[in-house]
Amino acid sequence: MNKKEILIFCFCVIFIFVNKISYSQTGEIQGVVKDENKEPVPFASVVLELDSNMVAGAPTDFDGYYILKPVPAGIYTVKVNCVGFHTQTITGVLVNAGKVRFLDIEIKSKNVKLKEVCVVAYKVPLFDKDNTQSGETVTSDQIRKMSGRGVNSVDATYNGVYSEDGKVGSIRGGRADANITIIDGMQIQGSSKIPYHIENTEEYDEIVENEFVNPLDKPLSTFSIDVDKASYSNIRRFLNSGQLPPADAVRIEEMINYFDYDYPEPKGKEPFAVQTHIGACDWNKKHQLMMVNLQAKTIEKENLPASNLTFLLDVSGSMSYSLNLVKKSMRLLVNQLSERDKIAIVVYAGASGLVLEPTSCDKKQTILNALDNLQAGGSTAGGAGIELAYKTAMENFIKNGNNRIILATDGDFNVGISNDDALVKLIEEKRKSGVFLSVLGFGSGNYKDSKMEKLADHGNGNYAYIDNLMEAQKVLVTEMGGTLVTIAKDVKIQIEFNPENVISYKLIGYENRILADKDFNDDTKDAGELGVGHNVTAFYEIIPNGVKSKFLQEREVNDLKYQETNFQKGFSNELATIKLRYKNPKEDKSKLIQTTIKTVSKENYTENVDFHFASAVIEFGMLLRNSYFKNKSSFKKVIKLAKANKGEDKEGYRVEFIKLVNLAKNLK
């Protein structure tokens, strides 16, 4: 061996040695999060911090189990939070190199009176559990090359000992049906098949942000309302799993409308009340923000119309790891319904089928048993399932009742009618029956957000993403009336800005809800639906006359030769005129509401808590999108603004928002 070869050999030895040392310097933390009744808490957020900086984070699964790895050896703080629970902070958690630190955590529900954050010191156990697992990663490419696609066959290949005793296999001495494997962050138990979609194939429609426009060029801004809230809970899913969401997953209007605001209810015959607020723009103090609110009337649960509900449940293979959450979510809804209501269950995988005839809710156990017996497997014939669901709903139509299909899916249709345009055409045809459609999204990895948003929009319905059982509680219990009962359909907004006071304006969000100005008076054009108790919020960023802004300078054009650029004066105290059109759910002719928005001086700007909290949500959305219009926004400013305007926050959603902003700040 010559001198050069000796040097290369020594370098390789040193490189391997250093890498082994580096690898051996990490450990992991795992355990179960439980409540004060020793029940597991699913989908809690477990975050590991060092000197107030996030090192790792993970959500708990259905059984409250979490795992944080790899974690460099050291002493950490562990924080656990979940909607409806007090935050638990555990200090002094020691992680040894090459070891598993087992840490079970108990958190208290907000029914238990405590300070908002509970801090306890962790005591290192006298004896650690033996860590005999080696832990190995198998890529999707490796799995595809295997002859067997079952979890056990993969484990047998990579984990070592596997024997067959005629009934069950065993890996390292454990029963095959007790073996746990983690695939794409999901816990797989027993001999389940490998997920159909290991790679990420999620789909989102592209969002091209609205820009500032001159009211002399475009005096009217026309759009359809949006009561969907899916984007916010989907963003939460990404952040809790330690990822920033794709920019096109961030729909700012849905983020704003996720939260409840203290709007006055309608007093007259109209199904909703309209309010406006004007204040300073928090990320550009020279600009103004105009907030437009719609508050639908509320109806007590016992006064809601009788419901004819058809659950349309995706039980295809891609739903294997979401079906348990689907069933638990549907159980929550079933338990809220009265004896006047009835439920049918249609499922679809490779084919569709009716698994429960329309059944009165006085036989709830029959309905719950049908849900419990559902199993996942096969491809996804979504179009056929939709056809059968509408047929079932129409055959059992309740006149003057709530006739609705509730679709629970990840949107991965791949058999029969599956492309977006064909599905939209099918839904548009079926909505003429008077049956409305609500879409509940589940799952990750192969989630088709763009498809589900279109189905809900064109099916006279709403769209929510269920990332955990607490979100199911919010959508299907707390907000049941808004989710299930429509009080106004095809609701459109058109605002005419006064160029005497507004030099430029920009609608924030609603990019995929923009309508042509002529569509406002066209009753054949579809728009959004408003449910019982729903509130809808829209914001405009306004550049007042006399203000210099870089957004104006970049968009200046030369004076036009053939067009008039003057405007009618005499309305100096008016900022804009707002018009709304809506139809009663059973009617096809729209009604018009119109009001004038007056100018507001800086001394009279809105100091409303809801106004400023919603402003913080907008800033957060712009930061996640890395918006060109974010100007001087920062995560630090968002947190400060949201904390100052948290308000009463009975359900804890605003506190959770602040925590998500902190997560995003650390991930950035």
Amino acid making up residue 22: S
User: Dihedrals φ, ψ of 620, to 5°?
Assistant: -60, -45
Q: What is the pLDDT of residue 27?
A: 84
pLDDT at 110: 76
- Per-residue HEC secondary structure of 446-495 comes to CCEHHHHHHHHHHCCCCEEECCCHHHHHHHHHHCHHHHHCEEEEEEEEEE
Residue 153 predicted with pLDDT over 60: no
How does pLDDT run across 205-259, given as a tens digit for each residue?
999 999 999 998 899 999 999 889 999 999 999 998 888 999 999 999 999 999 9
Can you spell out the DSSP letters for 135-166? -----HHHHHTSS--BHHHHHHHHHS-EEE-S
3-state secondary structure 378-396: CCCCHHHHHHHHHHHHHHC
For residue 372, name the pLDDT band (cuts at 50, 70, 90).
Answer: very high
43 with 59: CB under 8 angstroms?
Answer: yes
Averaged over 36-56, what is the pLDDT?
84
- Tell whether the model's pLDDT for residue 19 goes beyond 60: no
What is the rounded CA–CA span in Å between residue 613 and residue 74? 38
Closest of 640, 664, 643, 575 to residue 283, by C-alpha: 640
Q: What was the pLDDT predicted at 191?
A: 46
Q: What is the DSSP letter of 501?
A: T
In angstroms, the CA 383 to CA 404 distance is 17
Question: How far is the first Cα of the chain from the last one, in angstroms, to the nearest whole number?
Answer: 50
The amino acid sitting at 275 is Q
Q: Can you tell me the distance from the alpha carbon of 258 to that of 482, in angstroms, rounded to the nearest whole number?
A: 12
The pLDDT, as a whole number, for residue 577 is 95
Of the pLDDT bands very low, low, confident and very high (cuts 50, 70, 90), residue 149 is very low
Collapsing DSSP to helix, strand or coil, 512 comes out as helix
**pLDDT given for residue 546 in this prediction:** 86
Kindly tell me if the per-residue pLDDT of 157 is higher than 60: no
Burial of 160 (0-12, 13-18, 19+ CB in 10 A): exposed
Give the span between the Cα atoms of 626 and 459, in whole angstroms: 32
Residue 172 has pLDDT above 60, yes or no: no
The pLDDT of residue 269 is 85
pLDDT greater than 70 at residue 468: yes
- Per-residue HEC secondary structure of 178-241 comes to HCEEEECCEEEECCCECCCCCCCCCECCCCCCCCCECCCCCCEEEEECCCCCHHHHHHHHHHHC
pLDDT, position 622? 97
Q: In which band, very low, low, confident or very high, does the pLDDT at 59 lie, cut at 50, 70 and 90?
A: confident
Q: Average pLDDT in the 438-443 region?
A: 93
Least Cα distance to 345 among 430, 417, 405 occurs for: 405
What is the residue-wise DSSP string for 38-70? S-B-TT-EEEEEETTEEEEEEE--TTSEEEEEE
What mean pLDDT do residues 552-561 have? Answer: 59
pLDDT band at 427 (very low <50, low <70, confident <90, very high): confident
Q: Which uninterrupted H or E stretch holds 170? A: strand 169-171
Range with top average pLDDT, 18-32, 106-120, 600-614: 600-614
For residue 596, pLDDT over 90 is answered with yes
**pLDDT reading at 88 higher than 70:** yes
**pLDDT per position as a tens digit, 295-330:** 999 888 888 899 999 999 998 888 888 899 999 999
pLDDT for 503 equals 93
Residue 186's pLDDT band (cuts 50, 70, 90): very low
Which secondary-structure segment (H or E) carries 256?
Answer: helix 252-256
pLDDT category, 187, cuts 50, 70, 90?
very low
Amino acid at the residue 621: G
pLDDT the model gives residue 162: 38
Strands laid side by side in the 169-171 sheet: 162-164, 169-171, 174-175
Q: Does residue 171 surpass a pLDDT of 50?
A: no
pLDDT-based confidence at residue 604 (cuts at 50, 70, 90): confident
Average pLDDT, the chain: 82
Q: Quick one: average pLDDT of 496-508?
A: 94
Could you give all domains of the chain from N- to C-terminal order, each with its CATH number?
Answer: 3-121 (2.60.40.10), 140-189 (no CATH), 220-299+488-667 (2.60.40.1230), 301-482 (3.40.50.410)
Higher pLDDT, 519 or 27: 519
Better-predicted residue by pLDDT, 163 or 570: 570
The answer to whether residue 419 scores a pLDDT higher than 80 is: no
Residue 647 has pLDDT above 80, yes or no: yes
Cis status, amide bond into 219, omega within 30 of 0: no
Q: What is the DSSP letter of 168?
A: -
Among 218-222, 274-278, 395-399, 420-424, which is the least confidently predicted range? Answer: 420-424
The pLDDT value given to residue 501: 93
Chain centroid offset of residue 264 CA: 27
